């Protein structure tokens, strides 16, 4: 019943609105500013709540409503520090800066990580934003070390960075590469330019090229996991571990691809990456199962649509990517992408998804889905949903002056 109520509420508010205070009706600039102000308040409460646990970072909520944290080794560890840096960029207060530094340093030891591909998430979301906003070479050096760590996972025969090492749960794959891995390439592209190390760029571009070749279907939807034969380098399996089925379009996976190829075009200027990003965007935006509020179901092919759970993390990720992609395409298509992104921001900033101050474990957004098939992190807040929501708000705020008014 709750899922049905949320879906009904969202459609009604989009179609008819309810009051002048409704984010559906407010000027977009007001929605963005108010949402960023709320995000800062909520994030400061989160930061304070873990001040006496210097090795912990927010992850999600448990079923009993208690905060679940992680150490620096968990793949999501860099998101909360990065979120704080974005909020500091919006409102450069000393309090936000001190907490951003505090939580960023909690992740520093991951610069030596070579046993998974997530070092890009961990380090570039945190230290990347820290260096961007402060120019402190200490942060830059950490990114350099982390980039050298990440490329140790590249196999030139296959042409990809390995995502998961052998483990009981991953034993069915010889050499698994997941679509999420596209997100870790941004650190390599950036570092290649900063340190004049062409190897970083070559690894990133080769990985991106191989992923275009093997991860995508003709309609630009993507598998989650592609596994390669370690001897021949050829594809051995095509699967979707966190989605509904191997042939379905797992929503967050489509978002990883959209964001990843938009970023690769920005960093390389390669038109093939822009074409890929546009194809993915068009698949998402034209899908008959994309809801009116533009926040996707956890899988575009979930069997119980329209009663399937939404994934706010996928919505925030797609929103952030669309805002950037809108700058690289012809004007009319750019307007289309921005229009969808605006709807997503208004939806995520509404009571259907936005938490109340001090509630929701001090996470910003409600209703994300981590790993539905495993029954893990289902219909809960997730730290990366908050990160991409705040990033999307910041990107939209910077775009607003250039958006033509009717």
Any known ligand binding at 164?
A: no
Looking at 180, 293, 299, 379, which residue is catalytic? 180
Any known ligand binding at 180?
A: yes
* CA 137 to each of CA 36, 133, 134, 148: distance values in angstroms, whole numbers, following the listed order: 28, 11, 9, 17
Looking at 115, 118, 219, 247, which residue is catalytic? 118
Q: Which two tokens stand for residue 228?
A: 């390669």
For residue 397, which of 100, 126, 91 has the smallest C-alpha distance? 91
CB 221 within 8 A of CB 254: yes
End-to-end, the C-alpha distance of the chain in Å comes to 40
Could you give the angle at which helices 383-399 and 312-325 cross, rounded to 10 degrees? Answer: 30
**109 counts as catalytic:** no
Q: How many CA atoms lie within 13 A of 71 on its CB side?
A: 4
Any known ligand binding at 118?
A: yes
CA gap 356, 366 in Å, rounded: 10
CB 344 within 8 A of CB 295: yes
CA gap 257, 373 in Å, rounded: 21
For residue 143, which of 206, 201, 203, 188 has the smallest C-alpha distance? 188
Q: Which two tokens stand for residue 284?
A: 């998402």
Could you give the angle at which helices 331-348 and 271-285 cross, rounded to 10 degrees? Answer: 50
**218 counts as catalytic:** no
CA gap 6, 73 in Å, rounded: 35
Any known ligand binding at 256?
A: yes
Any known ligand binding at 56?
A: no
Residues at the binding site for substrate are 118, 180, 240, 252, 256
Residues at the binding site are 118, 180, 240, 252, 256
Active site residues: 118, 180
């Amino acid at each position: 019943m709750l899922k049905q109520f949320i879906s009904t509420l969202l459609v009604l508010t989009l179609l008819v609105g309810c009051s002048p205070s409704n984010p559906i009706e407010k000027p977009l600039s007001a929605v963005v500013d108010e949402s960023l102000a709320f995000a800062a308040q909520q994030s400061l409460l989160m930061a304070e709540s873990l001040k006496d646990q210097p090795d912990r970072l927010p992850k999600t909520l448990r079923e009993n409503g208690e905060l679940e944290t992680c150490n620096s080794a968990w793949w999501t560890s860099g998101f909360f520090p990065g979120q704080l840096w974005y909020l500091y960029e919006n409102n450069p207060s000393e309090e936000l800066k001190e907490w951003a530094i505090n939580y960023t340093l909690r992740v520093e030891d991951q610069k030596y990580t070579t046993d998974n591909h997530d070092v890009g998430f961990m380090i570039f979301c945190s230290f990347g934003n820290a260096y961007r906003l402060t120019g402190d070479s200490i942060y830059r050096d950490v990114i350099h070390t982390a980039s050298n760590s990440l490329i140790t996972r590249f196999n030139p025969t296959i042409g990809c960075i390995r995502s998961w090492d052998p483990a009981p749960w991953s034993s069915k794959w010889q050499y698994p590469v997941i679509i999420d891995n596209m997100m870790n390439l941004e650190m390599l592209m950036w570092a290649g330019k900063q340190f004049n190390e062409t190897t970083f760029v070559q690894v990133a571009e080769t990985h991106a090229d191989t992923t275009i070749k093997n991860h995508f279907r003709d309609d630009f939807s993507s598998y989650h996991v592609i596994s390669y034969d370690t001897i021949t380098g050829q594809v051995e399996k095509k699967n979707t571990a966190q989605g509904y089925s191997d042939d379905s379009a797992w929503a967050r996976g489509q978002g990883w691809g959209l964001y990843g190829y938009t970023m690769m075009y920005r960093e390389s200027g390669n038109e093939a990456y822009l074409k890929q990003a546009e194809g993915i965007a068009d698949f998402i935006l034209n899908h008959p199962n994309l809801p009116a509020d533009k926040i996707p179901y956890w899988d575009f092919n979930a069997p119980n649509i329209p009663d399937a759970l939404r994934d706010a993390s996928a919505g925030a990720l797609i929103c952030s990517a669309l805002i950037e992609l809108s700058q690289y395409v012809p004007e009319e298509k750019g307007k289309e992408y921005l229009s969808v992104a605006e709807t997503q921001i208004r939806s995520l900033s509404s009571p259907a998804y936005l938490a109340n101050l001090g509630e929701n474990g001090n996470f910003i957004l409600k209703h994300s889905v981590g790993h539905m098939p495993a029954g893990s992190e289902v219909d809960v807040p997730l730290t990366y949903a908050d990160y991409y929501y705040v990033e999307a708000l910041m990107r939209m705020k910077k775009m607003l002056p250039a958006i033509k008014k009717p």
